Structure 1
Amino acid sequence: MIYYLIVCRSLTYAQRTAAVLERAGITARILRAPKSIAGEGCSYAVKVSERRLAQSLVLLKRADLPPKGVFITEADGSYREVWL
């Protein structure tokens, strides 16, 4: 299954992001961002399904919660940044 990681700048922002998505009926799971995509320090990410990404990004923009980055999972388990 293909899914996206919406990277947030802190745990608090990840919790807020997940809450906005959950209120809209989108399943969102908070997790530590993998080191390969975390960049500096420890980041958190919210995992969403491929079919819910566009709707998720619209909701986050309305809630003024811009993601730090968005990554897609590759077939080999690696991550590739998606430019929006």
Structure 2
Amino acid sequence: MVYYLIVCRSLTYAQRTAAALERAGITAYILRSPRIIAGEGCSHSVKVSERNLARALLVLERVGLSPRRIYIMSGDGGYKEVLL
């Protein structure tokens, strides 16, 4: 299954993002961003499935929580940034 990581600037921001998605009925998991995509410092991400990404972005826009970056997480463990 293909997943997307919505990169957030802090743990609090990730918690707010996940809570907004869960309220909309979208399953979301908070995790520490992998080093390869975290850049400088630490960050947290919210993982959502491919089928929920479009709806998740609409929900986040509606509540004013725009994502910092989004990465696609492939089955082989690689990551690629998704440009919106």
Identity of aligned residues (%): 68
Using the alignment, how far apart are the partners of 1:78 and 1:23 within structure 2? 30
- For structure 1, the residue ranges without an aligned partner over 5 or more in a row are none
> For each residue in 1:31-83, what CA deviation from the matched residue of structure 2 results, as whole angstroms up to 9, or x when unmatched?
00000000110000000000000000011011111111000012321100000
Give the residue type in structure 1 aligned to 2:75: A
Match of 1:56 in 2: 56
Q: SS at 2:46's partner residue?
A: strand
Match of 1:35 in 2: 35
Where does 1:9-48 land on structure 2 (aligned, <5 Å)?
9-48=9-48
Match of 1:3 in 2: 3
**Off by >3 Å, runs of 4+ in structure 1:** none
CA RMSD of aligned residues (A): 0.7
Contact 2:11-2:43 within 8 A present in 1 as well: yes
1:28, distance to aligned residue in structure 2 (A) = 0.3
TM-score by length of 2: 0.97
Aligned length: 84
TM-score by length of 1: 0.97
- For structure 2, the residue ranges without an aligned partner over 5 or more in a row are none
Q: SS at 2:30's partner residue?
A: strand
